[in-house]
Amino acid sequence: MLLSDLMRESANAATTPPALPRDPALSGLTLDSRKVGPGFLFAALVGNRQDGTAFVAEAVKRGAVAILAAPDASLPPLDPSIVVVRDANPRRRVALMAAAFAGAQPATIAAVTGTNGKSSTVHFVRHIWANLGFKAASVGTLGIFSPGLTREAGLTTPDPVQLHEDLAILARQGVTHLAIEASSHGLDQHRLDGLRLSAACFTNLTHEHLDYHASMETYFAAKARLFDSLLPESGTAVINADSDRAQALMAIAARHGVRCWTYGAKGREFRLLKDQATSAGQHLAVEILGELHGIELPLVGGFQASNALGALALAVATGGDVDRSVEALGSVTGAPGRLQLVARHRTGANVYVDYAHKPEALETVLSTLRPFARGRLVVVFGCGGDRDRAKRPVMGEIATRLADLTLVTDDNPRSEEPEEIRAEIVRGIPADRRNWIEVRDGRHAAIERGMASLRSKDDLLLIAGKGHETGQTIKGVTHHFDDAEVAREFAEAVS
Output the known binding site for meso-2,6-diaminopimelate.
387, 411-414, 465, 469
Binding site, residues? 31, 33, 114-120, 156-157, 183, 189, 191, 387, 411-414, 465, 469
Q: What whole-number distance in Å separates Cα of residue 428 and Cα of residue 380?
A: 16
Please check whether residue 312 is in contact with residue 384, taking contact to mean a CB–CB distance below 8 angstroms.
Answer: no
Mark residue 219 as left, alpha or beta (left: phi above 0; alpha: psi -120 to 50; beta: remaining): alpha
Rounded to 5°, the CA angle 386-392-395 comes to 140
Please check whether residue 363 is in contact with residue 406, taking contact to mean a CB–CB distance below 8 angstroms.
Answer: no
Question: Chain centroid to CA 225: how far?
Answer: 16
Q: What whole-number distance in Å separates Cα of residue 64 and Cα of residue 438?
A: 53
Please check whether residue 456 is in contact with residue 347, taking contact to mean a CB–CB distance below 8 angstroms.
Answer: yes
CA dihedral 123, 125, 129, 130 (to 10 degrees): 20
CA dihedral 119, 120, 122, 125 (to 10 degrees): 170
Please check whether residue 52 is in contact with residue 94, taking contact to mean a CB–CB distance below 8 angstroms.
Answer: no
- Smallest CA-to-CA distance from 381 within 430, 429, 431, 333 is with 429
CA dihedral 260, 263, 268, 271 (to 10 degrees): 160
Helix (H) or strand (E) holding 277: strand 270-278
Please check whether residue 419 is in contact with residue 440, taking contact to mean a CB–CB distance below 8 angstroms.
Answer: yes
Binding site for ATP, residues? 114-120
Q: Residues with Cβ < 8 Å from 123, sequence gap 6 or more? A: 138, 142, 145, 179, 311, 334, 335, 338
